[in-house]
Structures are given as structure tokens and as C-alpha cells.
Chain A
Amino acid sequence: MILGHLTSQAASLGQSPSENGLSRRGFLRVGAAAGGGLMLSLSLPFANGQAESRDADKFVPNAFIRIDGDGRIVLAMPYVEMGQGTYTSIPMLIAEELEVDLSQVRLEHAPPNEKLYANPLLGVQATGDSTAIRGAWQPLRQAGATAKTMLVAAAAKRWNIDPASCQAQNGEVLHGLTGRSIKYGELAADAARMPVPKSVTLKQPQDFKLIGTPAKRLDTPAKLNGTAIYGIDVRPPGAKIATLAQSPVFGGRVKRVDDAAAKSIKGVRHIVRLDDAVAVVADHMGAAKKGLAALVIEWDDGPHAKLTTEDIASELEKATHNSGPVAQNIGDVEKAMASAVRKIEATYQVPFLAHAAMEPMNCTVHVRNNGCEIWVGTQAIARAQATAAKITGLPLEQVVVHNHLLGGGFGRRLDVDGVTRAVQIAMHVDGPVKVVWTREEDIQHDMYRPYWFDRISAGLDEKGTPVAWGHRFAGSSVIARYLPPAFKNGLDPDTTEGAIDLTYDLPNLHVEYLRVEPPGIPTAFWRSVGPSHNVFVTESFMDELAAAAKQDPVAYRLALLDKTPRAKAVLELAAEKAGWGQPLPERVGRGVSIQFVFASYLAQVAEVEVSRDGAARVRRVVCAVDCGTVVNPDTVRAQIQSAIIFGATAALYGEITLKDGRVEQTNFDTYQILRMNEAPAIEVYIVQSSEPPGGMGEAGTSAIVPAVTNAIFAATGKRLRKLPVDTTALKQPP
């Protein structure tokens, strides 16, 4: 029942551990924890994907292990739990090396502190981009091993024997010869005074007890009986509940508000008018919603009053007629294209998408004269703190943020617009206020997966083999807004992932990306980010080439994978398990995809049935994955199952459209999510590997989309180059 220990730790861990004389600059720092325990803080390089730029001067602390005198082992979790299982897999890494049972590890949400808790792969304190395990893999095992070494040293000193004759096991240090043992808790204070080992030896894979096992999720029990506390469940004493209407057109303003009727509703306390939003503050959400419905708001729609999705698509299409920054160039595409026997060209486009996490956007804020306190479930706690400091004018250290479980993230909660909004409202309210968005507000004021428009072409030789590959696309760069330093020379590593690093042996490849920011609609990260678009385009197009060459889609791909054996292996495995090539009924087809994104290899085969009226149903999905070393195989399976449903939802239904500057979709009736009766059977096959772990939170989402549309092609002969699936185009003529 570890969730009982998931406290929203805020202030105390935000301070550096009090260093003792034995601490040294470098990888690990040791301190005496309050109460005389052992506390380790890690130092990690600001890697940002560039190992070669490591510099000892840039080492900064990142996380804490704390072993209390009572034997409690507390881990301040710099990564947030939003369903991906990180609150189980991250502790597994420490527990493995520390030689403790997983049930002995207790978790606390890490407070905002970029210096201590920056994600080593992102450079900021954020959970996203499927980086938690990849970032934590080495440092958190080293942290566990270092703590273990010091505990053993403390015991050996007490017994006056050689540490090498001692052994750590199950939360205690043993001396086999004499049968003596001391529990970690009793050693914690002594261990804090031991010298930090210069280096530690990590366990070999064959010695792993936890890593690689399907450990039970630590957060499950509280999620089964209603006791788990998400951001939306927080209620500081005296807190009012508010809900809001933001300008229906992005960039619009409030012109006039008639709140007489709203104010007369029982339970409504007051109305907060902002420049571009109006909030109703009430005793409960029922009254707040009723008050909101009773408001008469006149808006000045601003410059985007007439904007439509078609306007944006047309601008992107136009942009792709001109060349842009080169994201990748291999060989000489122009020359190879000229010598090709056949040239294939296509355009693709993908829509704006909302995140629609089940927990609607919400944030609770208490603004006082000398401080601001925030309760929220966020993927980017330091960013949340920073925005609150900026709006209130308070120094950073006077903004306390309590992080909570997330009822889904998917990238939505990497942005802190919801925190910004709640703080703006809270500044007009005495006492704490919980701002809860309606579902309609959540969908119509999301920050959306960008719309992208692609032009892609290939040249085939006389055998049908691609000898040239040219790809140019236009759309928003979320990175340019979110992490400006990572946007260089017009390019960012996210928007192009999955387009510039294909698994195939393509001797001549040229990829260009044009950053075109759409007016009047904000964009953001969305589960599987750049690859959510690029894998659809490249794997659909590879299918087109196979069809043009009159070859089997799997065989065609396999012939191009000799240089990437891990990719070849997952494709062969998925095809075999799916029964590739075996006969299927009429209007049922199999489609395949292969990708290498988030440092994991995935191949999927989807089986899709298209009814006579054009409705597509995904019946079965087989996924083979090589994500390197597996920490928790059950979590890998769960994430693939999850990502497949998420991606299939997008492929079949996902689309946010604008008309008169307004998002047309409102709730789950117009923004449909795959349901139980539509969910495919899913089989997951994991390839054994000792490579470093790859990311698993998102990869399944990008892989399923082309697998579905390729299956529809196999079932109907219709090639879908625009998402979501157009059922009208799939109707069988009478």
C-alpha cells in the first residue's frame, strides 16, 4: 500500500542535503538526512542527448535516496506517474543495486528544482519523450550501488572486519562467517559518514533479481478503491471551486460580461473577469458550471475570427513547394532519382489532435501576499513554479508546488497554461481556489498535436528497389517554443524523428523540414510526438513502394534491413506471429509497420476489417519489440497495449478542426475515443536483449497508425494519405 506514502513533498527536499566533510564534487554527494540517516544526491551531466559534451564542470545534483534511521528508504521521484509505470520501474533500478525488496522503497514526488532534478536527456525537470528509464538507467543503479557500498563499509567498520567479507541482502548487511547481520536503518547514520566510493561495480544482468521481472505496480492498490489522489482531488481547507470560459477563438478578448443571472445562483461566490477568460468561483463545481452557463459573455474574436483548418492546410501545402532546412542528406538523391526507372510521388497530411486525458485540466492555487501554493498534476513541475512566479511577481522560492498523480498526461501536462490560468484567477480570490476545466473547455482549449503536410517521393530501380528517397514537410515545431536552445538552424530533433533515421538501407536520402507555425491555434507535444506523424508517412509510403514494385510489403521491407539486424528481427517475429501471408476473408487485410524511435525497435502487424459502409475495425494487432534491456516486462506490454489503443483512436477518429476560428469538437461525442467494443486483441512479443533500455511510453502509438492504414489498403485497395480514416472513401460501391 505504498500509495499512502506518496506525499506531495514540497519544501524540505528542495534544499540541498547538508553536506558533510566527506562529500566531494562529482558524481555523488552524501549528506546526513534530518534525523540522522543517509542521504545521497546524484549528480548528472546535462546530456541532452550529447554524451560527448560531458564536462565535469556541468555536473549538477539530480535526485535523492534517503535511508532513515527506522530503515525507511525514500526516493524523491523526479519523474511523474501518469500511467506509464514509472513509479514502479524507477524504484526497481535502485532497489536492485541497493539489495532491498521493492516494498521497502517509499516514494515522494520531487519538488521543483531544475538543478537537482533535471531529466538528463531533456535538460529540464520534465517527464516526457519516453526518457525516464533511459535517463535513470545508469545513475539510479549507481546511486543504489553506492549507497549499498557505504552501508557495507559502515557495518564492516562496526564489526572491524574486511568489507569484502560482508554481503548486502534484503535490506541488511550480513557477515556470513559469523552469521551476524545489521539492518540498513541501524547503519544509516554511520553510512553517511563513510567515504563515497570512487567507483562502484554494477550487477551483471544474470545477477538481477528485480530488473526483468514483472514486478507489481506500486500505485495500483490506491487506484482500485478511490483513495489515490490526483490533482483534481485536492481540496485545501476553505478552497472554492471555479470553472471558466476562455475566448472561443484563440487570441480573442472579453468585450462585455453580464453576470447578474450567474451571481444569483446558489453557491456562486463571485465572477472573475480576465482579459481573455471569465471564471465562476463557487462552493462546488455544480454551482460553478451552472453559473458559467448563466453568464452572457460577448467576445471580441480578434484576428483569427474567420480561421479554418483548410486555411492552415493550404498554407502548409504552399510552403512545401519551396525548399527548407536540410534535416538529413545521404548520397545524392537528385542524381539517383534521374537514373531511376520509375518515380513515385505522394502528399500526406495529418490533423491537429487533442490529448483528451481522462482527468480534465485543473489546478489549485492559493495566492497570499508573501507566497503562492499550487497543487497540480504536472509533467513539468519546475515550469509550473516558474510561470506562477512570473505572474505573481514572487521570487521562485516563495512558490511551492505540490505534484500529484496525473490522470493521463500524453504531453498535455508538459505545458503549464492551466497553471498560468489558475494563478491568474487565484489572484482575484481570497483563499485557495481549485480551477477545473469542463471537458468542453479541455478539448477546445487544448494545445494540439500539430497539423503537418508532407511531400514525399522515391525512385525505384528495375527490380523495384528504392534508390532515391526525398521527403519534405511543413508544420509547427513544438521544440522551438518549448526548448528554444534545442531548435537549431531551423531544425529540431523531435519534429524530424522517424523521418531522418529510417531503419532501411537507403543509399540516397534527402529530408527537409519547414517550420510553419499556424496562426490562431497553439501546438504542443502529443504522445509519440514527431514520430506520430513521420512514421505514418514513411511507413505508408514504403507500403506504396512495395505495391508499385508488386512485392509483398514484409518481404520488400526485409530486403532493405540487412544493415539493421534488430529491426529485421522484430519484423520477422511480428510477421510470423501474425500469420503474415495466411488467407483472410474478403475486406479484411493485414498491414505492417517497422520503426526505430525513442531508441526502441517496434514492428506491428494490424488486421483490419472494413465493412461495406466503410467503417474500419481493427481486429487484432501483433507487436514485436526490441527495447533493449527490459526493466519491467509487464509494463512494456501494458505500454504497448495502451499506445496501440491511443494510436488506433487517432488513426480512426482523431481530428480537431477549426471553423470561424473555433475548435468544432467539444466532448467525447464529437472527439471519439476507441471503446471496449472496438478494442482489438493485442499480442506483444518482447525480444530478449542486453542493449541499454529504450523508451516505451510512446513508441506503440506511432507504429500502429500506418499498420492500420496499410491494412485498409490490403483490404480495399484504397491508399489513405490523410488522417483520420475517411470511411466515405472506403464504402463499397453497390
Chain B
Amino acid sequence: MAFAIKINGNMHSVDVDGDTPLLWVLRDVLGMTGTKFGCGMALCGACTVHVNGAPTRSCVTPVDSIGTSEITTIEAIGKTAAGAKIQKAWFDREVVQCGYCQSGQIMSATALLASNPHPTDSDIDNAMSGNICRCGTYVRIREAIKQAAQSAGQGG
């Protein structure tokens, strides 16, 4: 059946089974490939998007559960204040390597920063441990989140 969902401020209509995970609607039906497939079981975080601002694993989120919720993906996260700060910190700190998991990392980190402008190491552990990076960029992710938090504190 057809579902109308709001993604990055735009309405989209998709005709798929209701149990189709949002991940495949984004990637394969709508061609928004910035959101990545990693595990299909909410174990790695590569597919993280925001549903009404909350970090959500799109690989286990059926499209019929979305309703009127607003979806934000990596393609638009830079338009949010927290997202732009995180992206800049990622760039400044040279976080990325292969980069495949980084869409999900950035979405998780942005959600953290938006809800908690001054996260502690333990907050970072809690928010980010659901996102696997096989290139092992964790050290720099931690530094980058701290840098973004600092810039948030300075109002810039």
C-alpha cells in the first residue's frame, strides 16, 4: 500500500509493504543512499536517521510505524545547528577513513549534541556505542564531539 512520509521536510509517497524497513525505502525506493546498510538488525548503527529528532535505526523501523513523524537523514542534517557543528568538527579532526559508517556516526553524534550540549565521556560512550566503525575512528569521533560541544558552548 502507499505511505506518505515526510523526509527532510518533503513529503514522499511510497508504495511498499507496511513492514518494509525505512532503510530500504530511503535507499532503494527514493534513491537517498547517504543512509547506509550495515547489519539489518540494529547492531551497527550505520543506518541511523532521526525520527522527530531521536536517533533511530532505520533498518528495523517499518515504514508503517512512521505516520506523521518527521524523518531527517544525513543528506539534510547539515541544515541543523548541531549537525553543522558535528560535520565541521568531523572535517577539522579528520575523523573519516573509509567513511561508510560515518553517516550513522554523524546522526548519532548530532542527536547527542542537540540534546546534551556538553556531553561527558560517559555520555559519549552511551550515545555512540551502538555505532560500529570498522576503521576504528573512535578516538577521533570522541575528540570531534568534544570540539563540537566546545563550539556549541561558545555559541558558534
Contacts and interface: CB of A to CB of B under 8 A. Distances in A.
Interface of A: 81-85, 214, 216-217, 219-221, 223-230, 232-233, 235, 241, 265-267, 283-287, 289-290, 356-360, 405-410, 436, 438-439, 634, 638, 641-646, 649, 667-669, 673-677, 679, 681-682
Contact of A83 (B16, B41, B97): B97
15 contacts: A85-B97, A225-B87, A226-B32, A233-B27, A286-B21, A287-B20, A290-B17, A358-B38, A359-B36, A439-B38, A641-B139, A646-B135, A646-B136, A674-B138, A676-B142
A556 B74 CA distance: 52
A235 B31 CA distance: 8
Given A226-B103, A233-B33, A217 B142 contact: no
B87 A226 contact: no
B117 interface: no
A676 B128 contact: yes
Contacts of A673: 44, 132, 134
Given A267-B17, A286-B25, A676-B124, A217 B35 contact: no
B132 to A, nearest CB: 5
A521 to B, nearest CB: 22
Given A230-B100, A667-B43, A676-B125, A641 B75 contact: no
A224 B40 contact: no
Given A358-B44, A679-B139, A407 B97 contact: no
B78 interface: yes
A407 B77 CA distance: 21
A358 B97 contact: no
A358 B125 contact: no
Contact of A285 (B19, B28, B31): B28
Interface in B121-142: 124-126, 128-142
Contact of B102 (A223, A679, A681): A223
Contact of B100 (A220, A287, A408, A682): A408
> Which 6 A/B pairs are nearest by Cβ-Cβ distance?
A226-B34, A645-B136, A407-B100, A83-B98, A223-B99, A83-B97
Given A221-B91, A358-B133, A439-B40, A226 B98 contact: no
B136 A679 contact: yes
Contact of B129 (A286, A410, A667, A677): A677
A284 B46 CA distance: 18
Contacts of A241: 28
Contacts of A676: 124-125, 128-129, 131, 138, 141-142
Contact of A669 (B28, B43, B73, B136): B43
A118 B99 CA distance: 26
A569 B1 CA distance: 68
B138 A645 contact: yes
Contacts of B94: 214, 216-217, 220, 634, 638
B96 A224 contact: yes
Contacts of B131: 675-676
A642 B137 contact: yes
B29 interface: yes
B37 A225 contact: no
Given A220-B96, A284-B24, 16 more contacts: A81-B98, A83-B97, A83-B135, A221-B91, A232-B37, A235-B33, A284-B20, A284-B25, A286-B17, A286-B28, A358-B135, A359-B38, A646-B136, A676-B125, A676-B129, A676-B131
B28 A283 contact: yes
Contacts of A667: 39-41, 43
Interface string B34-59: 11111111011010000000000000
Interface string B80-101: 0000000100110010111111
Chain B interface: which size bin? 35 or more
A677 B125 contact: yes
Contacts of A357: 98, 100, 134
Contacts of A228: 99
B10 to A, nearest CB: 15
Contacts of A674: 136, 138
B111 interface: no
Contacts of B5: none
B106 interface: yes
B103 A217 contact: no
A440 to B, nearest CB: 8
Contacts of B16: 266-267, 284, 286-287
Contacts of A287: 16-17, 20, 24
A667 B132 CA distance: 12
B153 to A, nearest CB: 22
Nearest to B20: A286
B11 to A, nearest CB: 19
A225 B46 contact: no
B33 A229 contact: yes
B98 A82 contact: yes
Nearest to A678: B129
Contacts of A644: 136
A607 to B, nearest CB: 15
A529 to B, nearest CB: 17
Interface string B135-152: 111111110000000000
A230 B38 CA distance: 13
Contacts of B137: 638, 641-642
A29 to B, nearest CB: 34
Contacts of B36: 232, 358-359, 407
A682 B29 CA distance: 42
Contact of B140 (A233, A265, A638): A638
Interface in B53-75: 73-75
A358 B74 contact: no
Nearest to B86: A224
B72 to A, nearest CB: 11
Contacts of A410: 134
Contacts of A359: 36, 38, 98, 100
Contacts of A669: 41, 43
Nearest to A235: B31
A140 B96 CA distance: 25
Given A220-B91, A229-B33, A360-B37, A407 B98 contact: yes
A221 B34 CA distance: 13
Nearest to B44: A668
